[in-house]
Structures are given as structure tokens and as C-alpha cells.
Amino acid sequence: PSTPKKEPKTAEPTSTAAKKPFGERTETRVQMSRMRLRIAERLKDAQNTAAMLTTFNEIDMSTIMAVRSKYKDAFLEKHGVKLGFMSAFVAASAKGLMAHPQVNGQIDGKEIVYHDYADISVAVATPTGLVTPVLRNTESMSFHEIEAEIAALGRKARDGKIAIEDMLGGTFTISNGGVYGSLMGTPILNPPQTAILGMHGIFKRPVAVGDSIEIRPMMYVALTYDHRLIDGSDAVLFLRKIKSGVEDPTTLLLDL
């Protein structure tokens, strides 16, 4: 009698994971750039020196968004730059700094230095780190001048052409984490400045408008300040000044 043929054995599937030792991982160690080291040093100095406190508010962006939507094309055609929200925040901050000189001041040893101008640093993210180029004399700048200067400084920063002179001498800083979708945060002071405004993302939320509930585009804003120089009342009133200016840009145009 013939013997039955044996079926050929099929190869068992091999696991790629089985070939790799369990838990094998790698690490990469790189040298910190000079800019990153300097940023870390300045931020830590601010924490160690200033008595930092943060106050918050929220801004209804409905009006400024409507203005932007209505005039953005005409603005671009006439001035050659896009109309964004930063011009309103810079203009409102400049008005607030002129009305609240403590927020626009700085501590120098045992003296307080007050500035009669508003040089606002605007935080810009670059591949090598965060830089803060300065807009000079914003208290006398128009919306299109602010937008043009921000665009020019942003290009220089991203192209790595920003100079030290572009980042010196600011009296106040605006940081916009909203471009990354941040809901809320507490910015750290940019010494020797004594205050910094943190902008955040715009999100639709139900809010009370009169006696009714409406869905409005809202933004949380945060003001971190040095309590050694700025009292809580000044910080709150300053932030309310920014809120009123952005919610009703007419007050900025009429210098109210």
C-alpha cells in the first residue's frame, strides 16, 4: 500500500516586533542655540525678579471682525497690506499705555522710569525661537502703518535677518498665542518691561447680551504685570481700555 503524502509545512508568520528587543528606544542630544539659551535666561530672570500677577478679561470680537470683513479688500488695495486684528490691539494698547503710565514704565534700581511714548514689542515665532521686534511710537501710528510694520518685521524675523536693534527698547509686549489655537494662558514678562498682553484664540461661545443669550466670537485676553510697580486697579483698568477699544474701534479713531 502507498504511504500518504505529508502536507508541506507552511512558514509561520514572523513578527517584526519580535525581532526588535522590547523597550529599545533612542535619544538625540543637541546643543542649545545661543538664541534659545538667551531666551531661557531672560524668562527665568523675569520669574526670579518680578512680582508677576495675571488678570484676565474677554473680548467680543463681533464688531472688529465685521469691520475687517467689510473693508479688508479696500484696505489691501489702498495700503498694500492685509487688515488683521493686531492693528486694533496695538492701537488700543498704545491708548491704554498713554492713559496708564505705570503700565508703560519700568523699574531701574530704586527709580521708576516713565515713557511718554509707546514702543510695543510684538512676539514673532521663528525657526530658531521666539523674538520680539519693536514697533516704535505706536501712539502716533495709523492702522495701516501698524500692519505694514508688523508685516515687515515678521518677514525679517522669519528670514533670519532681524537685528538686535530691532528688538531693543520696547516698553510693552503683545504675544498672540491665538494663532496656534490657545484658549487661555499666562504670558511671562519681557524684562525690563513691567507688563505683557496675551491674546488667545477666537471661539464662538454663548454670552449674555442684555437680557438674551447669543452666540458670539469671543477671545480671552490676559495681562501679566509686575506688581512691584503696577497696582491691581491700574492693571484691570488698562485691560478694560484694550477691551473697549477692540470691541468698539470707533473709540480709537475718535481718541476716546
- For the stretch 54-84, pLDDT in tens is 999 999 999 999 999 999 999 999 999 999 9
> Of 51, 50, 61, whose CA–CA distance to 200 is shortest?
61
- For the stretch 167-195, pLDDT in tens is 888 999 999 888 888 899 999 998 899 99
> Of 217, 174, 220, whose CA–CA distance to 200 is shortest?
220
CA 111 vs CA 105, 106, 108, 228, 254: distances in Å: 10, 9, 5, 12, 35
Is the C-alpha dihedral spanning 115, 117, 123, 128 positive or negative?
negative
Q: What is the pLDDT of residue 87?
A: 93
Q: How far apart are CA 16 and CA 13, in angstroms?
A: 10
Number of H helices, E strands in the chain: 7, 10
Mean pLDDT of 31-40: 82
Mean pLDDT of 194-208: 95
Catalytic annotation, pick one of 45, 116, 159, 231? 231
Amino acid at 43: L
Which residues neighbour 188 within 8 Å (Cβ) at sequence distance 6 or greater?
43, 46, 47, 52, 196, 224
pLDDT band at 238 (very low <50, low <70, confident <90, very high): very high
Q: What is the pLDDT of residue 3?
A: 58
Q: Are 53 and 232 spatial neighbours (Cβ–Cβ below 8 Å)?
A: yes
| Active site annotation includes 119 | no
Q: How far apart are CA 164 and CA 148, in angstroms?
A: 20
Task: Indicate whether 18 pLDDT > 70.
Answer: no
Mean pLDDT of 31-39: 82
Please list the alpha-helical segments (H only) found in the chain.
16-19, 34-49, 62-79, 86-99, 143-158, 232-247, 250-253
Omega before 192 within 30 of 0, i.e. cis: yes
Q: How far apart are CA 109 and CA 202, in angstroms?
A: 40
pLDDT band at 24 (very low <50, low <70, confident <90, very high): confident
102, three cell numbers: 505705570
Please give the mean pLDDT across all residues of the chain: 88
**pLDDT greater at residue 222 or residue 178:** 222
> Of 176, 183, 181, whose CA–CA distance to 197 is shortest?
176
- For the stretch 51-61, pLDDT in tens is 999 999 999 99
- Residue 58 exposed, middle or buried by CB count within 10 Å (0-12, 13-18, 19+): middle
pTM for the whole thing? 0.84
Q: Are 52 and 223 spatial neighbours (Cβ–Cβ below 8 Å)?
A: no
pLDDT band at 201 (very low <50, low <70, confident <90, very high): very high
Q: How far apart are CA 222 and CA 177, in angstroms?
A: 11
Catalytic annotation, pick one of 227, 234, 248, 255? 227
Task: Indicate whether 25 pLDDT > 70.
Answer: yes
Residue 139 dihedral angles phi and psi, to the nearest 5°: -65, -20
pLDDT band at 22 (very low <50, low <70, confident <90, very high): low
Q: What is the pLDDT of residue 2?
A: 57
| Active site annotation includes 231 | yes
DSSP 8: P
